[in-house]
Amino acid sequence: MPAHTLLFWATLPILLGVVLYQIGPHVLIPASVHEYAGFKVLRSLFEETHCFASVTTLSTGLPKAECFSVTNGRFSRVFNDDLIKQDASYDAVKDTRSGYVYPGLWDGHGHLIQYGELLNSVNLFGSGSMAEVQDRLVKYKADHPEEGTHQKWIRGVGWDQANFNGNWPSLSDLEIDEAFKDQYVMLDRVDVHCIWVSQKVLDLLPSPLPEVPAGGEIVAKGVFCDNAMEMVLEHYPKPDKDRKSKFVKDAMIELNKLGIVGMHDAGVVPVDLDLYEHLSDDADWTVRVNAMVECNERNTFCPRDVKKVSTPNGMFHVRSVKLFGDGALGSWGSAMIDPYSDKKTSTGSLLVNATMLSALTQNWAAQGFQVNIHAIGDLANRLAIDAFEISLKLQCPDITNLRQCQQEKFRFRIEHAQIIHPDDQRRMLELGIIPSIQPTHATSDMGYAESRLGEQRTADEAYRMRSLLPLGPVLGSDFPVEPASIFEGMYAATTRRSPRTGLDPSGGKTGWYPEETLTVEDALKGFTINPAFGAFLNGNAGVIQEGAWADWVVLDQPLEGLDLEDLRKVTVRETWVGGKLVYQRRD
Ligand SMILES: *[C@@H]1O[C@H](CO)[C@@H](O)[C@H](O)[C@H]1NC(C)=O
Ligand SMILES: [Zn+2]
């Protein structure tokens, strides 16, 4: 018998064992085989087992465990400690049992490239004076000498004129020293509603300046607010592919530090979807991304520019589209049924009319896309629900059970879902429409929301959380608009107080409309299994159970029973994605 034939026959049982093992030891192989010693050796070759003080699985079968095994980037079994004591073949990491494990965290609404862009800009948050702003700019420039050109402006964010004795900054404040002469600089105000630019940037605009558009204002020389920002932004050099790739990877490093293993990117244009798909094969793509399509022109139907994606490694997914109903509450841009309480002449503005919104929803749904509509004001929310209801009636075979059809096939979502008329809250509950909520938006807006909306409307409609709990709200941060920390979001949801100050708008500890708080457990679900369901990734993500992706975080103490004041300061010890360690805190 030739040597290679002999080798074939000799290795066949091993190969067969490997194949059997890979296709699923617990499904196909009878229990008796599990006891066979050779099988145990084989298992230990492919399986890695981890044990901890406790493992919160969020799985209904076994809510609490102590150990799990990982095979091929997925959990292959989840079990209690006593099992391991009887079976020495488990290659358990026995000395790291001090941590508390939870499913890897997901942010249900964020913006990846923009977050990376923020990380690559001057951090002006908390700067207490103009001198401090200038000092930070000089330091940044020294570290990034290549920035400040026509092609690569110096970007910054976080200034606040309240810290300049109430005076708006101006062009001349940016002529700090010789190195700053002739620099292209653009700095966002703390709320990103104004930008402050240098002389070089201003020189790009026509002179004299064109008329300022409605809803915009130039508040000082070089400071453009709200709709006036577009006059500058059209000259901003869009980052190229390499720069965007850097933004994405820098963002992922930061997100992993926060225990985040996955995120829903709320609006990605076709060229960036291609970039993501390409990058998602790389070893340093360490956050699972579920991207919502945003057509090159907002609120259009562009099925030829995009395709549904689910990469074999589970790191990148596309099967939803983002539409935009209205603007923000802070600038009176959200579309309201009745006028604003502090601006009686205005009901805000819709970005798309009802006919168009329904037609777009219907067209995308017919192509098998989940439709996620940005809606803040109660009119925008009503029109979004109308659009969903019409589409469900047209698409679902059994018109008497739209809710089930919505759950199984469409999972239509409302992004932000901030101000919703009680009638429409009921309709959402009936139809099972998923609210995608950012708890820190509630605490950032709580200082002025009541003046915009009046007492009654605030009490009945605004920033619902517990009222919408039966819908399995997807929670997120909207980073970089708010900090990406999930624990700050959980704190905002469970206390309705600012994660920054720990206080409600009256400076107390009661919380803003505390009847809308969530429990820690429900908030945790909002950042794990609910975003998984809201992305059609349930069973794979947000849970520790056999067959799910092996994504988890290790904390120093259990979240249950933690003093809520400590919640906002929780840091993660380790983050694991697909069975690989992607972040480890240095103590
Ligand atoms: C809605 O908007 C579309 C596109 O902007 C426009 O063609 C249409 O006439 C509008 N319909 C109504 C009823 O205003
Ligand atoms: Zn957003």
Q: Does any ligand 1 atom lie closer than 6 A to the CB of residue 356? A: yes
Q: Which atom of ligand 1 is nearest to the CA of 353?
A: 1
Index of the ligand 1 atom closest to the CA of residue 354: 1
Determine the pLDDT at residue 24: 44
Size of the chain in residues: 587
Q: What was the pLDDT predicted at 332? A: 87
CA of 112 to the centre of ligand 2 (A): 10
Q: What pLDDT score was predicted for residue 215?
A: 73
Q: Could you tell which of 356, 357, 363 is best to mutate to test the pocket of ligand 1, judged by most ligand atoms within 8 Å of the CB? A: 356
Q: Mind giving me the DSSP string for 441-478?
A: HHHHHHHHHHHHHHHHHHHHHBT-SGGGGGG--EE---
Residue 45: its pLDDT value, please? 73
What is the tens place of the pLDDT at every residue in 277-304? 999 999 999 999 999 999 999 999 999 9
Q: Are 410 and 392 in contact (CB under 8 A)?
A: yes
CA of 353 to the centre of ligand 1 (A): 6
**DSSP-assigned states of every residue in 218-232:** EEETTEEEETTHHHH
Rounded-to-integer distance, Cα 355 and Cα 370, Å: 19
Residues with CB under 5 A from ligand 2 (ion): 266, 478
Give the predicted TM-score (pTM) of the model.
0.88
3-state secondary structure of 309: strand
pLDDT digits (tens, 9 = 90+) for 491-505: 999 999 999 999 999
Supply the residue whose CA is at minimum distance from atom 1 of ligand 1.
Answer: 353
Counting ligands in written order, which one lies closest to the CA of residue 356?
1
For residues 192 and 447, give the distance between their C-alpha atoms in angstroms, rounded to a whole number. 17
- Closest residue by Cα to atom 3, ligand 1, is 356
Q: Which is nearest to 435 in space by CA: 458, 399, 462? A: 462
Task: State which residues of the chain have pLDDT below 70.
Answer: 1-44, 82-96
pLDDT of residue 475: 98
The three-state secondary structure class of 334 is coil
Q: Whose CA is nearest to atom 10 of ligand 1?
A: 353
Q: Whose CA is nearest to atom 4 of ligand 1?
A: 356
Residue nearest ligand 1's atom 14 by CA: 353
Q: How far is the CA of 478 from the centre of ligand 2 (A)?
A: 5
CB atoms within 10 A of CB 149: 13
CA–centroid distance, residue 355 to ligand 1 (Å)? 7
Ligand in nearest proximity to the CA of 372: 2
What is the tens place of the pLDDT at every residue in 205-244?
998 999 998 778 899 999 998 889 999 999 999 899 999 9
Q: How many CB atoms lie within 10 A of CB 295?
A: 20
Ligand 1 proximity of 353 Cβ (cutoff 6 Å): yes
**Amino acid in the structure at residue 577:** V
